[in-house]
């Protein structure tokens, strides 16, 4: 039987949905499962970790793990993987996962597959599906090693609400600090805003919004909808939006129920981050904008005119 270790995704003290999604997939293929949770002050997450559905929980809880540092985090994952004798280590999709997974793979002498959307257990080996070339193609990749480390693309697997875990906790020793790459500071940009990755609705602003006033206008729409608020790279580079709000190939991958692209042209690198959304709405004044080729609903118009009406109409329909 396959043994799958899932790395818990914890953000600002909260266990994220990807953890249960990955565990559900592991269970669905009949694997024995464990979860490893890494951070500081995370003891209180134990019920959630059990609830996420693993047979076993590895916990590395140490004050020195409060800030992300790839070396120590990788050391914890490797420690858990060795103790559990995992042949699969799966990460949810995040910037931290992308930094840690290749380290873990190198240390376990395992193959490494990033951004996978599916995993198949073929006779005697594993195959994964993943997009490549800025989402222009899918690759079917054969894993030649016994062990595999994977980063699973957001939205690839669904959580099984029936899944129940059992409590079997192993506490991990704190890892050695990385003395040569010392995390000094986190310049936080997140605040209490809704996490893009698990928002039901995401509203993103593009260069069409022009300036801070435009950004505020679109932000008000996001707030109205209780939606995650993202941006194209153009708005991040221009300094209007924080880095961790960038949606796209080199930013966040999102797959919400509804994605609103406001003043975004629809470059392939942006599409790579959001074309897994269930429904896409685009507002753009250029009827030829490529975003309309992927949008289910398109409004051709000036966002400065359309967005306030959108807010009004949504308010109306919701009340």
Q: Does 310 bind another protein (CB under 8 A)?
A: yes
Binding part of the chain for ligand FAD, among 34-42, 55-63, 94-102, 269-277 by CB under 6 A, reads 269-277
**What's the rounded Cα separation, in Å, for the pair 246 and 234?**
9
Among 2, 99, 159, 177, binds another protein (CB under 8 A): 99
Among candidate residues 9, 47, 4, the one with its CA nearest the CA of residue 24: 4
Contacts of 221 (CB under 8 A, 6+ apart): 203, 227, 260, 262, 307, 310, 311, 314
Interaction pattern, residues 273-312, with ligand FAD; x per rule: CB under 6 A: x---------xxxx--x------------xxx--------
Among 2, 183, 238, 267, binds ligand FAD (CB under 6 A): 267
Among candidate residues 9, 75, 24, 76, the one with its CA nearest the CA of residue 54: 24
Q: Does 94 bind ligand FAD (CB under 6 A)?
A: no
Among 28, 29, 120, 132, binds another protein (CB under 8 A): 132
Element (DSSP H or E) covering residue 25: helix 17-28
Identify the residue whose tokens are 């608020």: 229
Q: How far is the CB of 282 from ligand FAD (least distance, A)?
A: 9
Among 68, 107, 198, 207, binds ligand FAD (CB under 6 A): 207
CA dihedral in degrees (148, 153, 155, 160; nearest 10)? 10
Token duo for residue 125: 């080996």
Q: Closer to ligand FAD at the Cβ: 165 or 273?
A: 273
Q: Does 83 bind another protein (CB under 8 A)?
A: no
Contacts of 124 (CB under 8 A, 6+ apart): none
Q: Does 228 bind ligand FAD (CB under 6 A)?
A: no
Among candidate residues 249, 230, 149, 155, the one with its CA nearest the CA of residue 198: 155
Residues of span 60-79 touching ligand FAD by CB under 6 A: none
Q: Closer to another protein at the Cβ: 220 or 300?
A: 300
Q: Does 40 bind ligand FAD (CB under 6 A)?
A: no
| Binding interface with ligand FAD (CB under 6 A) | 206-208, 232-235, 246-251, 263-265, 267, 269-270, 273, 283-286, 289, 302-304
């Amino acid at each position: 039987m396959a043994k799958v270790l899932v790395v818990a995704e914890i953000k600002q003290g909260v266990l994220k949905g990807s953890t249960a999604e990955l565990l559900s997939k592991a269970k669905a293929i009949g694997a024995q499962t464990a979860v490893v949770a890494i951070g500081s002050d995370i003891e209180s997450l134990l019920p959630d970790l059990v609830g996420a559905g693993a047979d076993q929980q590895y916990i590395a809880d140490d004050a020195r793990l409060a800030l992300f540092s790839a070396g120590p985090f990788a050391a914890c994952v490797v420690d858990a993987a060795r103790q559990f004798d995992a042949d699969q280590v799966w990460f949810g999709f995040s910037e931290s996962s992308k930094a840690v997974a290749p380290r873990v793979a190198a240390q376990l002498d395992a193959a490494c597959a990033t951004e996978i959307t599916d995993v198949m257990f073929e006779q005697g080996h594993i195959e994964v599906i993943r997009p490549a070339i800025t989402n222009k193609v899918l690759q079917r990749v054969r894993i030649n090693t016994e062990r595999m480390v994977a980063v699973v693309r957001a939205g690839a697997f669904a959580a099984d609400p029936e899944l129940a875990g059992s409590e079997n906790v192993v506490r991990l020793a704190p890892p050695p600090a990385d003395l040569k790459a010392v995390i000094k500071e986190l310049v936080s940009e997140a605040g209490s805003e809704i996490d893009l990755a698990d928002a039901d609705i995401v509203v993103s602003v593009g260069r069409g919004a022009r300036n801070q006033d435009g950004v505020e206008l679109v932000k008000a729409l996001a707030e109205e909808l209780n939606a995650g608020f993202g941006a194209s790279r153009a708005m991040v580079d221009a300094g209007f939006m924080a880095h961790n709000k960038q949606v796209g190939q080199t930013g966040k991958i999102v797959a919400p129920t509804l994605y609103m692209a406001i003043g975004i042209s629809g470059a392939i690198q942006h599409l790579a981050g959001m074309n897994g959304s269930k429904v896409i709405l685009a507002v753009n004044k250029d009827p030829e904008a490529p975003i309309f080729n992927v949008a289910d609903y398109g409004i051709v118009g000036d966002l400065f005119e359309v967005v306030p009406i959108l807010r009004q109409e949504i308010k109306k329909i919701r009340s």
